[in-house]
Structure 1
Amino acid sequence: MKSLSNQSHFIVGLFLAFSVFTLSCSGGKILLYPVDGSHWVNMKVLIEELHSRGHSLTVIRPKSSWYITENSPLYTSITIADEISESDNFFEEYLLKVIAIERGDASGLSFLKLQVDLFSMLSKAHYIMCKMVSAILEDKMLVKRLQDEQYDLVLTDPALAGGVILARYLKLPLVLNVRWITTGEGHFAIAPSPMSYVPLPGSGHTDKMSFTQRVKNVLFQSFTFFQDRFVVGPHYDVLIDKYLDYKTDIVSLIQAADIWLMRTDFVFEFPRPTMPNVVYMGGFQCKPSKPLPADLEAFVQSSGDHGFIIMSLGTLVKSIPADMSNDIAAAFASLPQKVIWRHLGDRPSTVGNNTLIVDWIPQNDLLGHPKIKAFVAHGGTNGVQEAIYHGVPILGVPLFFDQFDNLIRIQEKGAGKILKLSEFSSHTFGQALRELLSNTSYRTNMQRLSSLHRDQPMRPLDSAVFWIEYVMRNKGATHLRSEFYNMPWYSYHSVDVLLVLFTVVVVFVFSTVAIIRYVCYKTCCKRKLKNE
């Protein structure tokens, strides 16, 4: 009987192995057009997995790239000259302005100037991207090389949409590694987004909005419209007019992608409408922790029962103002926990003996350590997803872009706290940390999110790779794509239908009134003639 059971297990195992084999896509050729910085961190995770499954990868990178190396065992690179110089510190300059305004001058004029600076920075970033794409398409030898390679698809991050233009020019299927596109959060371009319960990025709202918040949410659409029409869109319009053989716009090209690999999920995101070609892979970069280096492990173990805290403000933040770093260090020094702080600026004068300042931390491995108590973070998507995966509560200090919106979702679920820059001081920072550490509900709620995130039929990374290979096998996924992006706005919103129906009703009413008046007139005339 036991032998029969073993034999049946062997047959089932063989069947499953055969099923996986038949669904795989052997030796595909993928052209990647990534975005640098933290976006590259998660794109590299996909690259590593695709390489391990036997796919051939080519990465197009700018010469000035921070993190995308020219030589790699994972991929072949094509390096393109760009117009970024070492003196172009867009993000650092913008961050310092944000901090100065939030912590000091919060007048309407300062806020308006900050928005102008943001639009200027976005315009320059997209301009540089478009110049890089133009350089590729003007290089006839490079274009012929790309065409001769016969790639199966283009995988790109549409936050800067050069890869979208290139995919359309080469007539290749397009897969997006996406959360942000040229106009903002990706869902708003592809799925119905009712303003009544879907908060716009930057609004700072949850999916439970008051009337005033709903008004603000609708008004925030004007920023998206302005950004698309006047800040970002014109740069891509020039490329489209010059290199594509029909009139369109960059948002329509993004909407036409075969598959959207969305870097979020509904453990983190508020529920909202979606589309069949959107694949949720939130936390795909997360993985079990590995043992720490010996020196870090010794420092962590020295924390005893108090445990330790880690702090990191992400890859883009090189430094923060000295008074702010001194406030942070002083607050840390008052805690019984040990602290590991990734800090690249000058060493604060108030650093306590319990704080270890380093240039780099193995963040995932520290978050997965049993002695971790809290994570002080800026609210970037990667860090938030890793904290969810490992069940570590967050004290969020949002700086710019999507960070406040990310942290609002964590705070709303009771798994963390937000400390705004306008409220920041050594006292408020220390008080928020002590509440996070002493109130066990934050950890309990975050561990519940972790349990929900892990309770899936397959790993998010496996799901992402399956759909990339699906597009290779089927030469696209157009059957999953809605054709709404080909419709003019008045057809999409049925304005033309409503006008026709309104016209029919008006004609019917007027015709009825005219007939009644005519009948009445004839009746009166007949009576008058009889009376005469």
Structure 2
Amino acid sequence: MYLIREIIFIRTILSFVHGAKILGVFPVHSGSHFTLGFSLMRELAYKGHEVTFINSFPQKEPIRNLRDVSVEEIEISVTEFVNDLERFGKMNYWDQLVFMSTLGKTYTENVLKHKNVQNLLNSGEKFDLVIMEHFWNEAMTIFAHHFNCPLVYFSTGPTSIFNSHLLANPSFSSYVPNFLTTHGSRMTFLERLTNLFLDILCDIYMEFRSIPEQNAVLKAAFPNAPDLKTMMYNASLMFVVSHISIHDPLPLQPSIKYIGGHHVGSLKPLPTKIKQFMENASEGVIVFSMGSILKSSNLYFQHKEVILKVFSKMKQKILWKYEHDLDGLPSNVMISDWLPQQEVLAHPNTVAFISHGGLLGMIESVFFGVPILGIPTYWDQYKNIEDVVRRGMALKLNLHDLTEETFSNALNDILNDPKYRKNAKLRSKIMQDQPMKPIDEAVFWVEYVIRHEGAPHLKSAALHLSWYQKYLIDVILFLSFFGMFVLFFILSIIKCVFFNRKVYINPYEKNK
């Protein structure tokens, strides 16, 4: 009987976990953001979970256990922001915050009022868990509240001042670099001073502008919704796309899990045309991509002209992700509007990767041990590039400083100095030396949260403290006033004993 009860219990647990209904919320219209979310959602579907996936890139061929809720029309609403991305790199810190929060507000509004999302919210369905990409969209925590289930955040980057507060993760300005800087953890005095200033600036911006804006978006879409802060600080877990091979070690709460590299999967065969091009490259292949948002075809004419001149003089072949036809293409250059990036980076003939510094490309380059020439243009790309530069596997070149001389010199340095490839291979070894695959770890923690009904035991007590309590401001003030009181009391006693004492004069002595 005991054995039978054990078998029934185990089967109940397994059926509960492997049959869970999971809602994934990844609506950002960006190929890289989609890839990160899709990799996890697809794996959960493969594991037998029933996955509903809000996204902007619905599948053309159905995947078992995965249902798309398409919001691909939001691309139109964010087009004006995408067109401004090349200007983004010239903005000051405050304007960058305004740009990003306005972008987030725009796409959040459009997603929440989208007919497909509204149909889902009004469907009466039940979910066991919501996994939500966190990207300037806190109002979307309404999904977990509406379906009365645990919430897991998915950060498409490392821990930072913009997400650490959600799970009370320590973020000391002395050694945790701000997202808007290119600092590493080992900062000089001036860098720490700048870092502290930017942390305070970001805190002020989020507290008094970004979060109130998101709360207004929430109330406009759901007038009866609770205040945003009661929902956004109620998450069970956060996945972070980071790894110590790329980012400096930082403190983590037990409720925050690194899964950097989870999207790097089994490689598919290369398309015939690309395979032949790469196989016949006796001097190696340089892979060039500016990502999925700021396309190579949108580069300024003078930049394209410089790039083509330098490529025409290279003995290597160049595989360039370019979205339209291009006149004057050198014979050693092949363009394609799409590249199987993992597969071409994994090819043994690949000798360098020219990249805008998107996190996916950085992770894939590290995983496959490919040196990088980074040309960042906006937001996290500057810091991503600097992180791999500090590890000796990359060089950085500013797009606004791109000339034939600077581009040629940087590219030749990456190709001819063996230290870059050596350090890239070292970082690859570190990233691949893990006890389990990141995707398997992500699935485990998703199922863990479901098994433990939100896993409240992982949540830090700091989530229940006010900011002044968290930083012991009340204790410091108490000790300061108490110390001042004690000092005043001691000084008063000294004054009474030594300075207010009356001298006694013998009257007989006085008459004499």
TM over 0.5: yes
Question: Which residue is equivalent to 1:76?
Answer: 67
Q: Would you say the 8 A contact 1:33–1:162 is kept in 2?
A: no
Residue 47 in 1 paired to residue 47 in 2?
Answer: no
Tell me how far apart the structure 1 counterparts of residues 226 and 421 of structure 2 sit (CA, whole Å): 54
| From 491, 507, 515, the counterpart of 2:469 | 491
| From 19, 27, 37, the counterpart of 1:35 | 27
Question: Which residue is equivalent to 1:312?
Answer: 289
**Paired amino acid for 1:54:** G
Tell me how far apart the structure 2 counterparts of residues 187 and 23 of structure 1 sit (CA, whole Å): 34
Question: Which residue is equivalent to 1:3?
Answer: none
Tell me how far apart the structure 2 counterparts of residues 356 and 530 of structure 1 sit (CA, whole Å): 119
Residue 95 in 1 paired to residue 85 in 2?
Answer: yes
Residue 152 in 1 paired to residue 128 in 2?
Answer: yes
1:99-143 CA-partner distances (Å, limit 9, x unpaired) = 7x5xxxxxxxxx45x95476245314314414543678995x754
Question: Which residue is equivalent to 2:6?
Answer: none
Tell me how far apart the structure 2 counterparts of residues 348 and 406 of structure 1 sit (CA, whole Å): 32
Query: CA 1:212–1:184 in structure 2 vs 1: closer, same or farther (change >3 Å)?
Result: closer
Tell me how far apart the structure 1 counterparts of residues 507 and 264 of structure 2 sit (CA, whole Å): 94
**Paired amino acid for 2:155:** V
Q: Tell me the CA shift for residue 531 of structure 1.
A: 7.5
Q: Would you say the 8 A contact 1:90–1:121 is kept in 2?
A: no
Tell me how far apart the structure 1 counterparts of residues 388 and 81 of structure 2 sit (CA, whole Å): 25
Aligned CA-pair RMSD: 3.1
Q: Tell me the CA shift for residue 213 of structure 1.
A: 1.7
Question: Which residue is equivalent to 1:383?
Answer: 361
Residue 273 in 1 paired to residue 264 in 2?
Answer: no
| From 120, 136, 153, the counterpart of 1:176 | 153
**Paired amino acid for 1:163:** M
Tell me how far apart the structure 1 counterparts of residues 464 and 261 of structure 2 sit (CA, whole Å): 32
Q: Tell me the CA shift for residue 500 of structure 1.
A: 1.1
Query: CA 1:172–1:377 in structure 2 vs 1: closer, same or farther (change >3 Å)?
Result: same
Q: Would you say the 8 A contact 1:262–1:280 is kept in 2?
A: yes
Query: CA 1:202–1:444 in structure 2 vs 1: closer, same or farther (change >3 Å)?
Result: same
Residue 289 in 1 paired to residue 280 in 2?
Answer: no
Question: Which residue is equivalent to 2:172?
Answer: 194
| From 373, 390, 393, the counterpart of 1:412 | 390
Question: Which residue is equivalent to 1:456?
Answer: 434
Question: Which residue is equivalent to 1:123?
Answer: 102
| From 133, 143, 168, the counterpart of 1:166 | 143
**Paired amino acid for 2:258:** Y
Q: Tell me the CA shift for residue 272 of structure 1.
A: 1.7
Question: Which residue is equivalent to 1:510?
Answer: 488
1:204-239 CA-partner distances (Å, limit 9, x unpaired) = 112222222222212222441353145422222225
Tell me how far apart the structure 2 counterparts of residues 138 and 327 of structure 1 sit (CA, whole Å): 45
1:255-274 CA-partner distances (Å, limit 9, x unpaired) = 43111111111111112221
Tell me how far apart the structure 2 counterparts of residues 513 and 263 of structure 1 sit (CA, whole Å): 58
**Paired amino acid for 1:470:** Y
Q: Would you say the 8 A contact 2:26–2:53 is kept in 1?
A: yes
SS at match of 1:157: strand
Deviates more, 1:436-445 or 1:219-228: 219-228
SS at match of 2:76: coil
Tell me how far apart the structure 1 counterparts of residues 394 and 333 of structure 2 sit (CA, whole Å): 22
Q: Would you say the 8 A contact 1:130–1:235 is kept in 2?
A: no
Tell me how far apart the structure 1 counterparts of residues 509 and 68 of structure 2 sit (CA, whole Å): 101
**Paired amino acid for 2:307:** I
Question: Which residue is equivalent to 1:337?
Answer: 316
SS at match of 2:18: coil
Query: CA 1:339–1:469 in structure 2 vs 1: closer, same or farther (change >3 Å)?
Result: same
1:413-436 CA-partner distances (Å, limit 9, x unpaired) = 001111112321122112111111
Q: Would you say the 8 A contact 2:17–2:451 is kept in 1?
A: yes
1:436-484 CA-partner distances (Å, limit 9, x unpaired) = 1111111111111111111111000000000001011111121111131
Tell me how far apart the structure 1 counterparts of residues 26 and 102 of structure 2 sit (CA, whole Å): 18
How many aligned positions are there?
A: 491
Q: Tell me the CA shift for residue 68 of structure 1.
A: 3.5
**Paired amino acid for 2:130:** V
1:138-170 CA-partner distances (Å, limit 9, x unpaired) = 95x75452xx43211101101123432321343
Tell me how far apart the structure 1 counterparts of residues 488 and 156 of structure 2 sit (CA, whole Å): 52
SS at match of 2:495: helix
Question: Which residue is equivalent to 1:14?
Answer: none
Question: Which residue is equivalent to 1:15?
Answer: none
Q: Would you say the 8 A contact 2:22–2:49 is kept in 1?
A: yes
Give identity over the alignment, percent.
Answer: 27
SS at match of 2:427: helix
Query: CA 1:485–1:294 in structure 2 vs 1: closer, same or farther (change >3 Å)?
Result: same
Q: Tell me the CA shift for residue 347 of structure 1.
A: 0.9
Question: Which residue is equivalent to 2:306?
Answer: 327
Q: Would you say the 8 A contact 1:329–1:348 is kept in 2?
A: no
Tell me how far apart the structure 2 counterparts of residues 207 and 183 of structure 1 sit (CA, whole Å): 12
Question: Which residue is equivalent to 2:410?
Answer: 432
Question: Which residue is equivalent to 1:13?
Answer: none
Q: Tell me the CA shift for residue 292 of structure 1.
A: 1.5
